[in-house]
Amino acid sequence: MKTESPLIQLARSIALEDVAPYADAVDREARFPAEAIAALKRHSLLSAAVPAALGGTGASLSELVTIAEILGRQCASTAMIFAMHQIQVLTLVRHGLSETRFDNYLRELVSHQYLIASVTSEAGVGGEMRRSLCALERDGNDVELIKDATTISYGAQADDLLVTARRSPDAANSDQSLILLRKGSYTLEQKGVWDTMGMRGTCSPPFLLKAKGHADQVMATPFGDMSAQTVVPVSHLLWGGCWLGCATAAVNKARAFVRAQARTNPGTVPPTALRLAEAVSMLQGLRSAVQACLTEYEILSQAEDAASGALSSIAYAVRMNNLKVEATQMLPQIVLKALSICGILAYKNDSPYSMSRHLRDSLSAPLMVGNDRILATNANLLLVLKDD
């Protein structure tokens, strides 16, 4: 049996002691999971992806995905906040270490456990991350930015932001840069509320962002390159960990229900056991899909030509997009299967077998970067993709 790393053991402890006791309240009140994030900061998990040379843990992407799953079994909102933060950290690690400012920032992150939020959404672009209407306005070494963001997950609670914008006012809407905004250099005017069906603790209302900064806060690598090589694949994999956590929580409740039935009538197999076997098979399929893509990404990202090789290929983009679509279609089906096993007890909110939170959270998965938009992107890519 493989021994778990201390980092994974720590994550399990945090999930049980600092996440699980507050998960229902976070969902019910649509509030930020303050206790969980405080624990992640206290135990330095927000800097887990920072290389050891800079003081971090140097965690692998596989470890981060496992942590997202562990947290997701208790609270999907906490897991998603962890995942979204780590996407930003990995973007800085993989594309900013050649720049002294970002190297120094990552050292500060280790010391202060900053929580970083992403600002890629914008009114008027139809939810397309790779398009921006706002632009960086430069005056010498000074930079200004105004962005009408349709959502900023945990924006009000974040310490710093990574924001996409057109490189300049005359740049094409796909010619984007990524800028790191430090707390105190920007203001957020909340323009709506976050009262949703699920993922309520992510606290993702719309904001009007206004910022002033310095030119060296803009990352040198074009955002299009960062998106293909890091942001999109890492997002789908870390989100996959969150979705695995949600699905596993539902199946574990169904397993406990079936075992309880079996104990009441020893020597017999409950009729619900057959459906449990189906649910476990579906969960294994989801886990295998995430793991296969995770293994491929870790191999490709370590290749010498990672920046210009397979990670930037059309075929790879299609495969990663397919993972997101397939995983988010499977997740609600798994939770519904678990609900059917537990029956009315899964339908009741005051039951230990309640599936309410898991089901509502699972329905967000196909909507986060909508599956229809991803399939439309794949349709265009497939027109130019050569046959295998």
- The model's confidence at residue 1, banded by pLDDT at 50, 70 and 90, is low
Q: Which of 2, 32, 16 is nearest to 73 (CA)?
A: 16
Q: Which residue has the higher pLDDT, 73 or 318?
A: 73
Q: Which of 17-21, 62-66, 325-329 has the lowest mean pLDDT?
A: 325-329
- Please, which residues bridge with residue 117 across strands? 161
Strand 207-214: give its sheet, edge to edge: 137-139, 142-149, 207-214, 186-190
Confidence class for position 303, pLDDT limits 50, 70, 90: confident
- Model pLDDT, residue 231: 94
CATH 3.40.50.150 fits 117-217, yes or no: no
Using a pLDDT cut of 90, give the percent of the chain over it.
Answer: 83
Distance CA 272, CA 340 (A): 9
State the Cα–Cα distance between residues 86 and 117, nearest whole angstrom: 10
d(CA 119, CA 93): 18
Which residues, at least 6 apart from 180, have a Cβ–Cβ distance to it below 8 Å?
92, 102, 105, 160, 161, 162, 217, 219
Residues 6+ apart with CB under 8 A from 315: 385
Q: Provide the 3-class DSSP secondary structure of residue 151.
A: coil
Q: Which CATH superfamily is domain 6-114 in?
A: Acyl-CoA dehydrogenase/oxidase, N-terminal domain (1.10.540.10)
Model pLDDT for residues 187-222, shown as the tens digit of each residue: 999 999 999 999 999 999 999 999 999 999 999 999
- Which one-letter amino acid corresponds to residue 386? K
Nearest to 152 by CA among 130, 123, 125: 123
- Kindly tell me if the per-residue pLDDT of 68 is higher than 60: yes
Mean pLDDT of 296-302: 89
pLDDT at 284: 98
The first and second tokens of residue 6, run together, are: 């201390």
Helix (H) or strand (E) holding 13: helix 6-14
Predicted confidence (pLDDT) per residue in 344-381, tens digit: 999 999 999 999 999 999 999 999 888 888 888 888 88
Going from N- to C-terminal start, the domains of the chain cover 6-114, 117-217, 223-384
User: Rounded CA gap, 61 and 58, in Å?
Assistant: 9
pLDDT tens string 76-112: 999 999 999 999 999 999 999 888 899 999 999 999 9
Instruction: Give pLDDT, residue 2.
Output: 67
Percent of the chain with pLDDT over 70: 97
Which of 185, 171, 182, 160 has the alpha carbon at shortest distance from 137?
Answer: 171
The CA-based angle 164-361-207, given to 5 degrees, is 30
At residue 374, the pLDDT reads 84
> What would the CATH number be for the domain defined by 223-384?
1.20.140.10
The residue type found at 28 is R
What pLDDT, on a 0 to 100 scale, did the predictor assign at position 128? 87
Backbone angles phi, psi at 118, to 5 degrees: -105, 140
Element (H, E) at 292: helix 272-301
